[in-house]
Amino acid sequence: MSIPIYERAVEAARFINAKAGAKRPQAAVVLGSGLADAVQLAGDVVEVPFDEIPYFVSPTVEGHPGKLMIGSLGGTDVVVMKGRFHFYEGHSMEDVTFPIRAFCVMGIRTLVVTNAAGGISPHLSPGSLMLITDHINLMGDSPLRGPNDDRFGPRFPDLTSVYAPDYIDLAHDVARSTGLSLAEGVYLALGGPAYETPAEVRMLRDMGADAVGMSTVPEVIVARHCGLKILAISCITNVAAGLTHKEINHQQVIEIGRQSGARLSALLQGLMSKLVVSDAQVTS
């Protein structure tokens, strides 16, 4: 008989906490394609390969190193996933979202998720940073499908304000103070791994999508199920298919992500402590 997912999450959380030592992470950050070096942690940084953590799987995609980092970001203890697991790699939704459940058991209540995405709206060009205000799930599956464990959250979680409005406001405040410009938009998730056809992009635009990618939504759904507050940021790495005459390739995605990393790093450095304080004020 398989071990229930809550017990597996407890084991993974204990392992991570043991590695953290005296650190008590208050937030988690997930770094997407090409963004693995966008966060530079301070203090006595701990590095743990994913394959050492109980029940974590290993990413197979270039631009996802597969390491968990524990350290200080903007004066706040955090855990940072350098890379993530994707549904298109053949992992189950349970595996893709398992780290979020472990973070929940650790007591983390703030999640920052980043990704590389294709820009559909004309105001989004390669290198833009877009705060996700809502999403559309066209991945063909839900990470909450199957039996519900009430220790994580309710059977039917509400996703009305899945991307915390106060976190979005704080991100704009920090961006203005550092001279950054942040867009906003709706992120649409597809299963991948093939990039979209021009006809599909036209359909997605008509559905209300501003950007399209192959991740993030499963983690976000599980995070809300577990009661975490979420800020999600897309790095626009390319213009979606058919909107220019250029073909799309993963090397371009990684390179634009790397170029945008410094701006994302500056934003997160100034933002992290404010997110945690905002969350503490709400829950106190």
Residues with active-site annotation: 33, 64, 86, 88-89, 116, 214-215, 238, 250
The Cα 96–Cα 162 span in angstroms is: 19
Sign of the CA dihedral with 15 first, then 16, 17, and 18 last: positive
The amino acid present at 125, given as its one-letter code, is S
Cβ atoms of 234 and 129 within 8 Å: the answer is: yes
